[in-house]
Amino acid sequence: MCLIKVHIKYQDDISWQNGAGCDYKLKDGQVDVWRIRISSNLVLIDDFFKVLLPDEIIRANRYVQKKDKLRFVVSRGALRCLLSKYTNQPATAIKFVISANKKPYIQQQNLKYNVSHAGDWVLIAISNTEVGVDTEEIDHSFSYKEILADYFSKDEINYIAHQGSSNSFFLLWTRKEALTKATAIGLDNNLKHIPSLNGDHELDGGLLASSGNWKMNSFKTDENNMASLATEITAGHIMYWDVNFEKFLPGFKQSVL
């Protein structure tokens, strides 16, 4: 396969906008990133449950830990509620279709999306182009040094060692995971060959099962969570939306049920 390019940068100046201002239009290749605090939306857990389909309810009930069940219900319910606004259809009418590369998308408008959750946060990226998002809670007790040789290149290992903090490990990890999620290759033995340092990188497209170029934006979900967003190079402006379904979008739950 041909060589492809990946441009990677860190954004420390992103501004989370009130979700009430979103028009759900995705003009000119726009990518919308939604930040949802789980604990702030638990009061709507019953409403989120109502938009789930039977197979999703079965999946939710399989979780042994209550916190895992609640996280799934909020993230899946929030996804359906948001997609209902982009498609102008009831949340329960959203149909998820699996593409040839095994990535889900929305049949009604060929919408692409990706979801990640960690700690108290859910991130949802929505676009008309392929996207991948990952967020990780920065766990300073995690023994990341034990796995560096398996998943990171020598330059990446040197970078993490020079920075001397777990923040740098989770930054690079979210980048690798976001890119593999965007291209649907999954985490595999080639992870150490997938770039994660700032700058422009050229690599064999076969590593990502992709013939197109990509760009990566990294940012913090909050002070304790790192995140990265991978998009096709043709993607447009990225908007960052902060949403509490009860506080920021009055009447939202009535409009999607």
User: Which residue do the tokens 């929030």 mark?
Assistant: 78
Residue 237 lies inside a defined structural domain of this protein: yes
* pTM reported for the whole predicted model: 0.93
Residue 256 lies inside a defined structural domain of this protein: no
Residue 255 lies inside a defined structural domain of this protein: no
Structural Rg of the chain based on CA atoms: 18
The CATH number linked to 13 is: 3.90.470.20
Distance from C-alpha of 176 to C-alpha of 130, rounded to nearest angstrom: 15
CA angle (42 as vertex; 41, 48 as ends), nearest 5: 80
Can you read off the two tokens belonging to residue 6?
A: 């990946």
Q: Are 248 and 20 in contact (CB under 8 A)?
A: yes
Residue 254 lies inside a defined structural domain of this protein: no
| Per-residue pLDDT reduced to its tens digit, 123-181 | 999 999 999 999 999 999 999 999 999 999 999 999 999 998 899 999 999 999 999 99
Residue 257 lies inside a defined structural domain of this protein: no
Which of 240, 121, 210 is closest to 195 using CA atoms?
210
* Domain that residue 51 falls in: 3-247
pLDDT of the residue at 181: 94
| Per-residue pLDDT reduced to its tens digit, 74-128 | 999 999 999 999 999 999 999 888 877 778 888 767 789 999 999 999 999 999 9
Count up the domains in the chain and report the number: 1
Residue 166 lies inside a defined structural domain of this protein: yes
